[in-house]
Structure 1
Amino acid sequence: MSRTVAILIARLIFAGIFAMAAAFKFAGMADTAAYIAAAGFPFPLLLAWLAAFFELALVLAFLTGAYFSEAALLAGVYVIFLAFAFHGPSHWQGNQAEFGFFVDHFTFLAGLLFAAVHGPGEKLALHNGLIWKGESVSGRL
């Protein structure tokens, strides 16, 4: 029982973080686009919309368990991209807190990688996907 509860809480945390990120983007798309433009990326408004919908898709995957491992891996790539693009070494000299933000992304990556390997659990999960087939490395969830 405690294993199931822990997995469901972790899924809710992942979903909650990406839901908040998407909500902030949808609520202030122009501000998000300006932040993306300030980082030097082309087509900032398009990228802001794509990021918001991608985060929304991650929320659905984490809540339902469908394509869970794939979503966790893609989220990991996304999180590390964000770390380097918006909090990487070029930002550290101007604001030392940026180094902390950068490192936090790797902590998040660790959780996402663990989730990708172990899957969505057996409760409240659609077991659709290409990677996770219902067994963890130890053979049980």
Structure 2
Amino acid sequence: MICLALLASFSACAEERSDYLAIVVNSASPLENVTSAELAQIFKSQKTRDSAGARYVVGMRETGCAERAAALKGIYQMSDSEYEKYFLQATFAGTVQAPPKVFAGAGAVKQFVASAPGAISYLRASDADSSVKVLKVDGKAPGDAGYPIKIQ
């Protein structure tokens, strides 16, 4: 009984540390803070360059993972099918060159972001490390009260 209680409390703690989605960029990026609206523009390829002129390269997680679902809800405000339709139409219309790159796993996301100057993506806050820069969104860091992007 005691072991189950300890296990349950450990699991709850692990969820608390990892239930925020951190927006991450290459460590050389001039970005420190973005508004929710700016973030949506970047991820929808409506805003294509940072203040230093580097072209944004957006990374997404694979279909079916909790991080992708949180990004679709919190950044895009779309379902997976709406996201697919949006990028199909935008690519066909020529307003977007290509949809975001898709990565399987936090390690692949970190490697991509760390190696590409204009890269922007997301990770569970607990997966972020010194290889990437975590942005504030609306002036709040992951875990702060009112941080807008949570993993459900």
- The structure with the largest helix share of the pair is 1
Query: Which TM-score applies when normalising by structure 1?
Result: 0.27
- Higher RCO structure (Cα 8 Å, ≥6 apart): 2
- The structure with the largest strand share of the pair is 2
Query: Which TM-score applies when normalising by structure 2?
Result: 0.26
